[in-house]
Every structure is written in structure tokens, then in C-alpha cells.
Amino acid sequence: MSKPTAQERGSSEDDRECPLCAGPSVSAFTVGDRNRAVTNRRFTYRRCLECGSFFLADVPADLDRYYPTEYYGLPSVDELDRLAAGEAPKLRLIEPARPPGRLVDIGAGFGLFARAARSAGYDVTAIEMDTRCCEYLESVVGVSTIQSEAPADAVGALPPSHAVTLWHVLEHLRDPWRVLGAVAANLEPGGILAVAMPNPQALQFRLLGRRWAHVDAPRHLFLIPSRTLTARAAALGLRRIRLTTDDPAARGWNRFGWEYALRWFPARHRSTRAIVAVSMLLTTLLRPWERRGLNGTAYTAVFVKQSEQP
């Protein structure tokens, strides 16, 4: 017999089902918009007892307004190329899908990775919702751009892709599994998907709880364990070939997390030299623990699309 739904039981906040697996959930914590202070409203996260994901229980209908203009600082061309050079480790992560070929960068922002991928020889298509970023991606970064707040629909309309990347994007999406399904359908056999996300198994999250920088309410709608992402991907024909919380980008997020913790309320307190120095000291002292197992602040998972059965 199937499990009764929340609606059948008589829906209440106490029996709220997980949007990802429909499992039961419990209240985890309540927090304000510490990182941006767009609102004084407080938000509740719940933890799924089955898949282990954390999810925002009260997603704002007007989510766009929580991404202010300064969320994306558009660099000069020289600065863009300097910063894009730092994306080389991400290119190495997707090396099984070497160029040429179509690479779709979902949630491209202002295009650091898109620029690096274009320079490496990929035919890059960027999918982004922000109007300013889309104009910049087209005119400065030099890649084909689709402006869309529905990435599943956007990627679903594209020809088959050689590679798809979601660098810290899934946690922002209202329906991450729908996007993952669209990506799996779009990838050509042998194609590569790379996903980077905040890691709810992180040492920082265990120590800092709701003060962890990557809670980022209300922009981060989900904190999904790597095992849950891997299981969903496998059901879609995507086999995981790499999982790490110790790639260069993830190590940078470790230091970022300690710095934000020291700022206490990051939206209202800027980093000082002392805070930066102490955060670097904390990062150094805790490095042996954060680099062990899956203790790092963010994880990167790389998947390959299985060959279709004849």
C-alpha cells in the first residue's frame, strides 16, 4: 500500500513532505537573510528524514527580488580574462568531455566559466535569468545566451549536448529534479554533467548551523546530500565518475565560510583585515579535517551519460 500524502492526512506544517522525495520532514532551523539583508523576514528550513535534504519551507513567490543588482558585479574585459583563468580546474573536472562540442552552462552568471570553456574550444551556450548578465554574456563573454527563468525548458529545447555544467545552481532552483531530468535527456551518450553544490555534510554546517554562509536564505532553496543527488542521477541514466569536496573551488569556499561566520551578520558587517587574517588562520588549522572524506564546504560531482540501450 502506498504511503498517504500530506493532503490525504490533512496537511500541516508538522507533516510537510520533502519536495524531492515526498518523505517526512522535521523543522531544522529558522533564519533571516543574513548574507544580503534584502528583508527582515525569517525563513524556516526543514530536514527530510528519508533523503537527508534540507529545504526552504516557505519559498517567497517573489524570489527574484532577493537577487539585488549588486548580486552580480560585471568585471572589465581584462578582469574577466584574469578571473576566467582561475576556472582551469573546473575544465579539468570535465576532461572526459573534451572539446569540441556543445557545452551548456546553466546559471552562468556573468560568465567566468563560460569564457574559460569558450577559450578551451567548446561551443558554449549559457542559460541565465538576469538581464544584465545575459547582455554581458552575449556582448563581452562572446557566447550564445538564452535568458530564461525556466532552465529545464531552455535546455530541453536545445540539440544534444556534449557537456552540461551547474556550478552552484541547483540549490537555487524551485524544482532541481526537473532540471536534472531535462539535462539527462539532453546529454548525448557519453556526455558529461558537472554539478557543484553546498555540502550539508560539511564540517562547517555541523559547527555553525544556521549561521553557515551557504544556508543563504532565501536564495538557497535546497541543501542536497551528495548521496541523494547521486541516487537521483543514477535513476536518470547518469553514472557518477567523481565526487570531491577538495577541488580548488571547494577549498576556496572553505575559507569563504569561515570569513562569513566571523562577520556574524555578513550583510551588515564588512570584512576587516583582522577578520580575513583570522579566517585564513582558521582555514589553515582546520584544513586536515575539512580535506578529509566529505567534510568540505562544497562538493563537486561529475557524471557520465550511459550509452543508450539498442
Helix H or strand E encompassing 31: strand 25-32
- The answer to whether the Cα torsion of 82, 87, 92, 96 is positive or negative is negative
Q: What is the mean pLDDT of residues 251-258?
A: 95
What angle, rounded to 10 degrees, do the helices at 112-119 and 77-84 form?
70
The 10s digit of each residue's pLDDT in 91-112 is 999 999 999 999 999 999 999 9
The 10s digit of each residue's pLDDT in 116-149 is 999 999 999 999 999 999 999 999 999 999 999 9
Residue 9, pLDDT above cutoff 70: no
Considering the entire predicted model, what is its pTM? 0.92
Whole-number Å distance between alpha carbons of 137 and 72? 12
pLDDT > 90: what percent of the chain?
89
Quickly state the pLDDT bin for 4 (edges 50, 70, 90). very low
The 10s digit of each residue's pLDDT in 56-80 is 999 999 999 999 888 888 999 999 9
pLDDT at 309: 46
All three cell numbers of 273: 583585515
With CA atoms as reference, report the closest residue to 166 among 237, 114, 201.
Answer: 114
Whole-number Å distance between alpha carbons of 146 and 155? 9
Q: What is the mean pLDDT of residues 257-282?
A: 91
Q: What is the mean pLDDT of residues 221-241?
A: 98
Q: What is the mean pLDDT of residues 165-169?
A: 98
With CA atoms as reference, report the closest residue to 249 among 304, 203, 301.
Answer: 301
pLDDT at 14: 67
CB 197 within 8 Å of CB 107: no
Q: What is the mean pLDDT of residues 210-234?
A: 97
Residue in the structure block whose three cell numbers are 541565465: 128
Quickly state the pLDDT bin for 308 (edges 50, 70, 90). low
pLDDT at 8: 39
CB 100 within 8 Å of CB 124: no
Q: What is the mean pLDDT of residues 220-239?
A: 98
AA letter at 209: G
pLDDT at 270: 86
All three cell numbers of 205: 554546517
Helices (H) and strands (E) in the chain, counts: 11, 11
Q: What is the mean pLDDT of residues 208-229?
A: 97
Residue 53, pLDDT above cutoff 50: yes
Q: What is the mean pLDDT of residues 186-208?
A: 97
What angle, rounded to 10 degrees, do the helices at 248-262 and 273-290 form?
130
Task: Decide which of 199 and 3 is more confident.
Answer: 199
Cα torsion through 300, 194, 216, 107, rounded to 10: 160
CB 147 within 8 Å of CB 172: no
Quickly state the pLDDT bin for 194 (edges 50, 70, 90). very high
DSSP state of 247: S
Q: What is the mean pLDDT of residues 14-38?
A: 94
